[in-house]
Amino acid sequence: MEVAAESHQHFLTSLALDPRTGDLYTLCAASGEVLRYDAERQAFIEVVKADLPPASFAFLAGGEEARWVMACPTKRTLLTATAAVCERELEEIAEDLPGVTLTPYLACSNASPFNAPTAVTVSPCDGEVFFTDAGWEGDSSLLNPIGAVYRTVQRHSAVVALQPTGLAQPSSVAVGRDGCVYVAEMCENRLLRYVPRGGGVQYIGAVFARFKGSMGPSAVVVHPRTGHVFVALYEAAEVGRPYEAVDDEASTAAPPLRGRVLELDLGGTEVRTYDVPDTQLRALSFDVLGTCLYVVSSDSITCWSTLYQLALSED
């Protein structure tokens, strides 16, 4: 796992791949800035600043103009913005960032206010939007499982519940090319799968995988070619600090914990574990061909964020 780029002033929480160009974008949840990853220079380019700080974003499918859909906890809904400001070059970084105004997302216009949407993705099958409604940190928990998952229907004309309640901090959502929906439920340390039935009219949900030894899954993506599911396990920075050596000269400090990304096959069996130097994993993404995995680790206190990359084998 190699460092692709770093930022010491952004709290990066989401990754979005532009299907038109193959460019990778990331989002600062503290400032609302959207940044493009420049692989040649191994740097982030600040391209735009939203007037509200979203928690997650994705590129909407179709349409003449590229647009983002963004999960905005402060507004308790989803909003959209133009993505036509993506050509900013690194030399322009000293200039003032252009701003974009987030506008209401039509599908949510008649929906009741949500708790606080936190993760959003777009289905590769039909372009419909899926998002988690986890609430603010601590709102949905083991003692108060009010988290939910929603989806749009009829070409973004309405929102219906995939899981109306009962989830303990659903932190991420992903959709495979077979239409299966995967939801990372952090506080329960497990991954849920919702299988479409009747042409996607209804979904049947069940536990797909359970994990151990972490605070829970924080991000999930589905490989575009194999359908394998990649899950990032989150661990607090405090847990990762090594213990100090005791007086015994023979004793040594415990090595720091490393982050983990698990690869699961179509049956939910773990086939590989990828180690990451950091434990505060926030987001995952592939490149267009699925040959490279990207992992974001970020600290909300220091606003130190790192983008890691890993070339995947063909087998």
User: How do residues 5-17 score in pLDDT, each as one tens digit?
Assistant: 999 989 999 999 9
Q: Which of 85-89, 168-172, 306-310 has the lowest mean pLDDT?
A: 85-89
Of the two residues 178 and 249, the one the predictor is more confident about is 178
CATH class, 2-311 region: mainly beta
Of the two residues 282 and 144, the one the predictor is more confident about is 282
Q: Which of 138-147, 186-195, 243-252 has the lowest mean pLDDT?
A: 243-252
- The whole-number pLDDT of residue 248 equals 54
**For residues 261-276, average pLDDT:** 95
pTM over 0.75: yes
Q: Alpha-carbon distance 27 to 46, whole Å? A: 10
**For residues 114-130, average pLDDT:** 92
pLDDT band at 89 (very low <50, low <70, confident <90, very high): low
Strand partners, 78: 71
In terms of average pLDDT, the best of 6-15, 45-54, 97-106 is: 6-15
End-to-end CA gap in the chain: 18
Mean pLDDT, rounded, of the chain: 86
- The whole-number pLDDT of residue 244 equals 47
Q: What percent of the chain has pLDDT over 70?
A: 88
Q: Does the structure show a pLDDT above 90 at 264?
A: yes
Of the two residues 270 and 244, the one the predictor is more confident about is 270
Q: Which of 67-76, 167-176, 202-211 has the lowest mean pLDDT?
A: 67-76
Instruction: Give pLDDT tens digits for 137-173.
Output: 767 788 888 899 999 888 878 889 999 999 999 999 9
Q: Does the structure show a pLDDT above 70 at 97?
A: no
Q: Which of 16-30, 68-82, 89-103, 195-209 has the lowest mean pLDDT?
A: 89-103
Asked if 25 contacts 33 with a C-beta cutoff of 8 angstroms, the reply is no
Residue ranges covered by each domain of the chain: 2-311
**For residues 35-51, average pLDDT:** 89
pLDDT band at 110 (very low <50, low <70, confident <90, very high): confident
- The whole-number pLDDT of residue 254 equals 61
Of the two residues 202 and 227, the one the predictor is more confident about is 227
Q: What percent of the chain has pLDDT over 90?
A: 52
Q: Does the structure show a pLDDT above 50 at 128?
A: yes
- The whole-number pLDDT of residue 198 equals 79
- The whole-number pLDDT of residue 26 equals 94
- The whole-number pLDDT of residue 245 equals 45
**For residues 101-106, average pLDDT:** 78
